[in-house]
């Protein structure tokens, strides 16, 4: 028996949402890599990227994790900055020592075409200031 009524005072049944679909979608590896790379761009929001491609944010986070572990190869255009190699030279080039410095060592930092040499024995705060300045300058 069907229950039909035009009575406006009658409460409406609770809203039910039905998701119809084929179930799990198989994502090609190159598409996963493209989506993960897009989510790593500056200013990108994982939820927005996932919504745009019709997947869940959890999937995008998983693909990013797999990329970090080397299990998913990102496109060549994806620029991910993680660590900058630190190169230490055994003997510094022949240059006049700054006055008041007892140590002959120096630290060279190269990042995105910029090169900074910090002479002497810089403390952690000095190196931190150098990296902050480079980050602001290079917009990394």
Q: pLDDT tens, 40-51?
A: 988 999 999 999
To 10 degrees, the CA torsion angle through 76, 78, 82, 88?
40
Last residue of a domain, one of 68, 98, 126: 68
User: Measured in whole angstroms, how far is the alpha carbon of residue 120 from the centre of its chain?
Assistant: 34
Q: What is the pLDDT of residue 85?
A: 60
In a domain, 4, yes or no: no
Last residue of a domain, one of 39, 68, 97: 68
Within this chain, do residues 61 and 97 fall inside the same structural domain, yes or no?
no
Supply the DSSP symbol for 108.
E
Higher-pLDDT residue of 134 and 74 is 74
Q: Tell me which residue range forms the domain holding 33.
A: 29-68
Q: What is the pLDDT of residue 49?
A: 95
Q: Which of 113, 108, 107, 102 is nearest to 140 (CA)?
A: 113
Q: What is the pLDDT of residue 101?
A: 47
Tokens encoding 71: 């299990």
């Amino acid at each position: 028996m069907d229950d039909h009524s035009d009575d406006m005072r009658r409460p409406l049944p609770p809203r039910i949402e039905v998701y119809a679909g084929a179930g799990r979608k198989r994502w090609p590896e190159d598409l996963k890599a493209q989506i993960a790379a897009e989510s790593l761009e500056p200013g990108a929001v994982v939820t927005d990227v996932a919504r745009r491609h019709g997947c869940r944010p959890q999937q995008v986070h998983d693909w990013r994790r797999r990329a970090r572990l080397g299990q998913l190869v990102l496109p060549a255009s994806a620029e991910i900055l993680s660590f900058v190699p630190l190169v230490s030279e055994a003997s510094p080039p022949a240059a006049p020592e700054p006055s008041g410095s007892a140590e002959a060592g120096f630290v060279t930092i190269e990042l995105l075409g910029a090169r900074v040499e910090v002479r002497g024995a810089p403390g952690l705060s000095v190196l931190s200031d150098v990296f902050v300045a480079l980050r602001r300058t290079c917009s990394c």
